[in-house]
Amino acid sequence: MSADTSSPQETQGRRSGGRSGRRKSMETAAADAKVTVLRQWTLPYEPIKAVPEEAIDAIHDASMRVIEEMGIKVLHDEARDLFRQAGAEVDETSQMVRMDRALLMELVSKAPSSFKLHSRNPNWTGMTGDGNILVATVGGPPNATDLDRGRRSGNMEDYENFCRLAQAYDVIHIFGQPVEPLDVPLNIRHLRMTNSVMSLTEKAPFIYSRGQAAVMDALELVRIARGVSWEQLRREPSAYTVINMNSPRQLDIPMAQGAIDMARNGQPVIVTPFTLSGAMAPVTVAGGIVQQNAEALFGIALLQIVAPGAPAVYGGFTSNVDMKTGAPAFGTPEYAQAQLVSGQLTRRYGLPFRTSNVNASNHPDTQSVYESQMSLWSTIMGGCNLLLHGAGWLEGGLSASFEKFIIDVEMLRAFEAFLNPLEVNTDTLGLEAIADVEPGGHYFGTAHTLARYDSAFYQPILSDWRNYETWRDDGSLDATQRANRIYKETLREFVPPPMDPGIREEMDAFIARRTEEGGVTVD
Amino acid sequence: MSADTSSPQETQGRRSGGRSGRRKSMETAAADAKVTVLRQWTLPYEPIKAVPEEAIDAIHDASMRVIEEMGIKVLHDEARDLFRQAGAEVDETSQMVRMDRALLMELVSKAPSSFKLHSRNPNWTGMTGDGNILVATVGGPPNATDLDRGRRSGNMEDYENFCRLAQAYDVIHIFGQPVEPLDVPLNIRHLRMTNSVMSLTEKAPFIYSRGQAAVMDALELVRIARGVSWEQLRREPSAYTVINMNSPRQLDIPMAQGAIDMARNGQPVIVTPFTLSGAMAPVTVAGGIVQQNAEALFGIALLQIVAPGAPAVYGGFTSNVDMKTGAPAFGTPEYAQAQLVSGQLTRRYGLPFRTSNVNASNHPDTQSVYESQMSLWSTIMGGCNLLLHGAGWLEGGLSASFEKFIIDVEMLRAFEAFLNPLEVNTDTLGLEAIADVEPGGHYFGTAHTLARYDSAFYQPILSDWRNYETWRDDGSLDATQRANRIYKETLREFVPPPMDPGIREEMDAFIARRTEEGGVTVD
């Protein structure tokens, strides 16, 4: 079958010959699931510029000098070979790779300025780059937390619950890896994680770069779930990864291997230097950006050597550490300015720009929100094309919070409405309505109001706009406590998305076989 | 004395001949007070445009038609006379005032695009308009609230505590009226309030338009506190008020009287239509802005008739009601878009633009912050010149919250840092520092880092960036609980600003006399 030429509903219908009771119950569930479609975010405003173009010239020039004169240490043998073959200068003793700016920029220019990220449900295929924005869940935390049970090590139950939340909310377009299921052995963890995300969601998955075998297993599961050939999968980005540069100026072996494997298979790689100013990058924001820019372009160049035209995303993560403690700080004024400058650079290079919704708070409290909002505004208005950690990130990324997930969803929903261009036309200017209402009167009953009553304004899911007395008498729940109720209710009401029974069987069989084979080798 | 030609420190020194023990204790306190200076905010970024210029043309045209064809009802007799004398068409039966756009815009053009707001301490004189921004406390709530005592009716103790907080934090440039001291009789309330703000702060005060006598009493206290003549006060804006249009299309008697009295005395008036879309304005954002624009320009025209060149500020407050309940909503996507459009209009007219840091939450919780941040980002990046309700507003303006005040101060401090232009030069680009650090190394000990160790990054007062275990073991206080501790500590450590004993005596004598006379007549 080709999931590209038929809607999931048609596919579901076509496969509905009676084969098992299990399928019947799945069909009932599918019938209950609302049909949803990715609403592609685009930025209708001019992105904010933090610095004049001459400053962008200066940052570009300085980062070119980092690559030309200082170079990047590449620990991976094949990657160094690839750079050498492409014309870079490689010192095998020091493992340093240098190249001139003409070669670097020629390689970078091969990367597409935008691409589609395909879902197993074509309704959920979306676009990143060229003004288009995709939003992902949080990715990476080793801990999960909620108000009821507190903070605990990541586990499969929490992982799957985040899958359900990701599927339930339309402002989440693609999947991160919200929490690490530490209760699943590492040799088969990638199988279990990929199975859960492909089964419980229709959002394009994140794949960890934890060795070639694990990457290929995960891609095989994505391929099966999409119901496509390897040839089609390689043509259509369907999963993505993040390659962190081991800043400063170092690309390590697992990261390089992941970059190579994903690019060879046509899957997008986000290259994100881990440039925290004052620790892994210069203490100045401008210096941090110089280093980020050099490292990100260097990583993207590698992808283009492996597979010219490989989908690539420039990752902006430059923030700073607290100089008192060395702790990373996020959602700071420096972070906001760094994102704006990164957006200016990526637009100059014609590359999709990844950034993050981040904060350093230990609790889903007001700090977590003001830091998140500084992140969201600066990244979205800075021209972000792929927002990682869109919902659920807490504690500088050490915890995934169920309540913060809901708070973030509310904020993302508000942003989606804010990104809806304001309509100004004879109808919305409302002169007739203004003439209809006497001075000091009100508009509640006018025809203009009544015609727009239902859809006039943004409707929140978390905000409580009732008056104080009503709110107090209903238990005085603050927004974080309400978020706790909302996430649990969403999980209770969750209906899994439909999946073709043949695909289900093929995925199960693959996982069973690979598990029997012992999964992947763990170092 | 002239407070304009000598610094407060000099004034303090000059007046320090021994006259009373009271003065001595004040001098000791003054010696303890840190010397602070208003750091003028300016916007280093291009303001965000919500709509193209043609849409601004269309909104302008529609609002001109509101004034030309429909008119504004003016309940105040003298105001109608003034409009008639200036050439407007006045219908005495309906009290409707209409004028053509040429006359309206000619009047509006007399308003200055920026002006200084003078403090009794020249260090705290600031500028609004032409890219300059002043930040005020919350103004207007009838209730005060904190975590310890909950919500109560406004009273003088709370009022004075907000005075102290306003004085203590440098990101508060001017004073609102944070909470109404309902325990003070209305006939002398304006005397007590103005006395407290002029004694406990050095921030230019807000004066309520509650009748001519009360306005003149308050201005007399401001004049005495500044140590200037009436002639100088009339030349130098030193206090401000807000005139709300009684939307739709109505200017009532107290508001018109306040506008006239303040303009005649050279004091700035913010003209703010109360345009909540769906209730007092059309249900569309564009329609709400059309009405806001008509009403604001109409009010500013009145000020220019009274006193050509009178300092005036265009007030943008357009938000929407929740169509389910009629409750006002703030910090919504619609609010954000309305502020951006308002900024575009005011820049076209060359008028200072007032807006607000608002939210509709009943608690200083995450909702209060994400709504506030939507307000702050859209107003500051929309080109705001005077931010009302900058700190402490809660519950749609029905409560002033001590904790929210501190949370807002933290957010304002972060914005101040964000408004500091990013420096890009050879020094900040940091190429030498990058060359200094080995691949995979760190920057903690480099010369570049050590030279900037103390001042490199924004230092929060509320955010807790310690790791989870340290935070947990220290009591797991969320940011709102920490804000509670911080405001109480700030009050404990408060040192009142110095005041010349002669001025103190003159203020006391005036208040005693006016109190003895029975204060003002209360309707």
- Burial letters A94-116, b for 16+ CB under 10 A, else e: ebbbbbebebbbebbebbbbebb
pLDDT of residue B15: 33
Phi, psi of A319 (to 5 degrees): -135, -155
| Cross-chain residue pair A428–B48, CB shorter than 8 Å | no
Q: Please write the tens of the pLDDT for every residue from B324-367.
A: 888 999 999 999 999 999 999 999 999 999 999 999 999 999 99
SS3 percent helix, strand, coil of chain B, rounded to 5, is: 45, 15, 40
CATH number for the domain running over B108-418? 3.20.20.480
pLDDT band with cut points at 50, 70 and 90 for residue B201: very high
Q: Other C-beta atoms within 10 Å of B459: how many?
A: 15
User: Best of B41, B95, B366 to disrupt the A interface by mutation (most A CBs within 10 Å)?
Assistant: B366
What pLDDT was estimated at residue A3? 33
Q: What are phi and psi of B136, to 5 degrees?
A: -115, 160
Evaluate whether B108 touches B349 at the Cβ level (below 8 Å). Answer: yes
Nearest to A341 among B278, B281, B422 (CB): B422
Question: Do A456 and B320 touch, CB atoms closer than 8 A?
Answer: yes
Determine contact, residues A290/A63, Cβ cutoff 8 Å.
yes
Q: Which two tokens stand for residue A294?
A: 């050099």
Q: If DSSP codes are grouped into helix, strand and coil, which group holds residue A271?
A: strand
Lowest mean pLDDT among A24-28, A252-256, A382-386, B75-79: A24-28
Task: Check: CB of residue B496 under 8 Å from CB of residue B29.
Answer: yes
When pLDDT is averaged across residues B32-61 and rounded to a whole number, the result is 94
* Average pLDDT of the segment spanning A288-313: 98
Nearest 10 degrees: Cα torsion A371, A372, A374, A375: 120
Q: What ipTM was reported for this prediction? A: 0.94
- Give the side-chain half-sphere CA count within 13 A for A488: 10
H-run or E-run covering B232: helix B230-235
Structure tokens that stand for B41 in this block? 């905010």
Residues 6 or more apart whose CB falls under 8 angstroms from that of B246 comprise A439, A440, B252, B255, B274
Span A469-494, average pLDDT? 98
Average pLDDT over residues B162-191: 98
Gyration radius from chain A CA atoms: 24
Residue B1: pLDDT over 70: no
pLDDT band at residue A453, thresholds of 50, 70 and 90? confident
Helix (H) or strand (E) holding B426: helix B426-429
The fraction of chain A above a pLDDT of 90, given in percent, is: 91
* Residue of B283, B415, B434 with shortest CB distance to A290: B434
pTM to 2 decimals?
Answer: 0.94
**CA trace torsion B336, B341, B344, B345 (10° rounding):** -130
Binary contact (B478, A442; C-beta < 8 A): no
Determine the Cα–Cα distance for residues A206 and A242; give it in Å rounded to an integer.
Answer: 8
SS3 labels along A11-78: HHHHCCCCCCHHHHHHHHHHHHCCCCCCCCEECCCCCCCCCCHHHHHHHHHHHHHHHHHHCEEECCHH
Chain A to chain B, count of Cβ pairs less than 8 Å apart? 385
CA–CA dist A375, A373 (Å, integer):
5
Q: Is the pLDDT of residue A10 over 50?
A: no
8 Å CB contact between A117 and A240: yes
Mean pLDDT across the stretch B249-270?
A: 97
| Dihedral, CA of residue A82, residue A86, residue A92 and residue A97, to nearest 10 | -100
Q: Which of A385, A375, A378, A421 is nearest to A131 (CA)?
A: A385
Task: Quote the pLDDT of residue B18.
Answer: 36
Q: Which of A281, A363, A434 sits opposite B291 (nearest CB)?
A: A434
* Range A469-493 average pLDDT: 98
Distance from CA of A450 to the nearest CA of B (A): 9
Q: What is the pLDDT of residue B21?
A: 39
CB count, 10 Å around CB of A65? Answer: 17
| Mean pLDDT of the region A323-342 | 95
Residues in B closer than 8 angstroms to A326, CB to CB, are 444
The DSSP secondary-structure symbol of A93 reads T
Query: Predicted confidence band at B446 (pLDDT cuts at 50, 70, 90)?
Result: very high
For A34-71, what is each residue's pLDDT tens digit?
A: 789 999 999 999 999 999 999 999 999 999 999 999 99
Question: Where is pLDDT greater, at B522 or A119?
Answer: A119
Q: Is residue A15 exposed (0-12), middle (13-18) or buried (19+ Cβ within 10 Å)? A: middle
Judged by CB atoms closer than 8 Å, whether chains meet at A326 and B360 is answered as no
CB-based contact A287 B62, cutoff 8 Å: no
Residue B154 clears pLDDT 70, i.e. is over it: yes
Determine the Cα–Cα distance for residues B298 and A522; give it in Å rounded to an integer. 74
The three-state secondary structure class of A273 is: strand
pLDDT reading at A199 higher than 50: yes
Of A168, A216, A225, give the one whose Cα is nearest residue A196.
Answer: A225
Q: What are phi and psi of A91, to 5 degrees?
A: -105, 110
pLDDT at A32: 56
Q: Locate the chain B residue with the closest alpha carbon to A321.
A: B457
Q: Do B46 and A46 touch (CB under 8 A)?
A: yes
Q: How far apart are CA A101 and CA A17, in angstroms?
A: 60
* pLDDT score, position A454: 85
Report CB contact under 8 Å: B457, A334: yes
Hey, are the CB atoms on B431 and A66 less than 8 Å from each other? Answer: yes
Indicate if the pLDDT at residue A6 is higher than 60.
no
Query: Which segments of A350-467 does DSSP mark as H helices, in order?
Result: 366-380, 402-418, 426-429, 431-436, 447-450
d(CA A334, nearest CA chain B) in Å = 7
Beta bridge partners of B243: B271
Given an 8 Å threshold on Cβ–Cβ distance, is B49 in contact with A50?
Answer: no
What residue in A sits closest to B403 (Cα-Cα)? A366
Question: pLDDT over 90 for what percent of chain B?
Answer: 91
Continuous H helices in A169-211:
186-200
Mean pLDDT for B6-22 is: 36
Lowest mean pLDDT among A322-326, B157-161, B389-393: A322-326
DSSP alpha helices (H): ranges in A381-500?
402-418, 426-429, 431-436, 447-450, 468-473, 479-492
Mean pLDDT of B36-43: 97
Task: Determine the pLDDT at residue B500.
Answer: 97
| pLDDT, mean over chain B | 93
d(CA A476, CA B108): 47
Backbone angles phi, psi at B474, to 5 degrees: -95, 15
CA A80 to chain centre: 29
Question: Coil, helix or strand for B268?
Answer: coil
pLDDT at B88 over 70: yes
Domain-wise residue ranges, chain B: 108-418
Best residue in A151, A252, A274, A284 for a mutation probing chain B (most B CBs within 10 Å): A284
| Residue range B112-144, pLDDT digits in tens | 999 999 999 999 999 999 999 999 999 999 999
B337 closest CA partner among B284, B301, B299 = B284
Provide the shortest C-alpha distance from residue B222 to chain A (in Å).
Answer: 34
Q: How far apart are CA A49 and CA A342, in angstroms?
A: 10
pLDDT at B33: 58
The tens digit of pLDDT for each residue in A157-179 reads 999 999 999 999 999 999 999 99
Contact state of B322 with A465 under an 8 Å Cβ cutoff: yes
